[in-house]
Chain A
Amino acid sequence: MRKIDTNDMLLQVTTKITAFIILLFSLHLFLAGHNNPGGGFIGGLMSAGAVVLLLLAYDLKTVRRILPFDFIYVAGVGLLVAILTGMGSFLFGAPFLSHTFDYFQLPFLGKTELATAVLFDIGVYLVVVGVTMTIIQTIGEKE
């Protein structure tokens, strides 16, 4: 097998631009999940997709330098957040995983509905990102 030169300038420059668009869109999907299609699962998958695009354009070592943490801990933190938001309802004498919402006046956004379901969704988001990236990195590392 002949060695193919790896001058991936076009792919790398495009990745630098599109990775941010994908991350922004995943954030939009995550925040829109309450009233529109979207939510923690698909937002987490899109964030993992942006990191996978970085992995395709650069190599495993560069991406590990950009994101210097172990993704299995991200999944663990996500599970912890999900369980703690479920247990947080005990403080108000409500059953496990009870959720509530209220309207607040925020400085720039005006009247906004803030729901505690978002906290649970953050947990789902982190678990999906962590598990997907752990699977892909462990498969990619096998020689």
Chain B
Amino acid sequence: MIVIAKAIVIFFILLGAILCLIAAIGVLRLPDVYTRMHAASKASTLGVVLILVGVFFHEWFLTGVISAKILLGIVFIFLTAPVGAHLIGRAAYNTGVKMDKRSVQDDYGGFRNFVIKRKEDSYL
């Protein structure tokens, strides 16, 4: 029984660590800000969450403690990391960071200088 528990813990933590490594390689290898943000936000979010799930199972199976702090951390990282990546990417676009030269389409280009004039145009 304890072997199965350890195998589950090892599986989650190793998978999370490998995903974080893939995210780091993606940040090094990809050409521009937006593709790097794509690699860094998604892969490292899932990687950190999987490591936290592994630690949660470790606490639960081997010491019998159900740690609500780790569950809260999982929810928090899932909520905030993509929003942080969105804000960094949008700040990069709004300050005029160029896309890679192999990009073929920029659908947001027409809206670049869009300023909210009427109240109906705002989403808030």
Contact = CB atoms under 8 A, between A and B. Distances in A.
Interface of A: 2-5, 7, 9-12, 14, 17-18, 21, 25, 28
Contacts of B114: 5
A119 B67 CA distance: 27
A38 to B, nearest CB: 11
Contacts of A25: 72
Q: How large is the interface on B (under 10, 10 to 19, 20 to 34, 35 or more residues)?
A: 10 to 19
B83 interface: yes
A25 B115 CA distance: 38
B83 A14 contact: yes
Nearest to A7: B123
B75 interface: yes
Contacts of B113: 2
21 contacts: A3-B115, A5-B115, A5-B116, A7-B116, A7-B122, A7-B123, A7-B124, A9-B123, A9-B124, A10-B87, A11-B87, A12-B124, A14-B80, A14-B83, A17-B79, A18-B76, A18-B79, A18-B80, A21-B72, A21-B75, A25-B72
Contacts of B80: 14, 18
A140 B9 CA distance: 46
B38 interface: no
Interface in B65-124: 69, 72, 75-76, 79-80, 83, 86-87, 94, 113-116, 122-124
A30 to B, nearest CB: 14
A17 B113 CA distance: 30
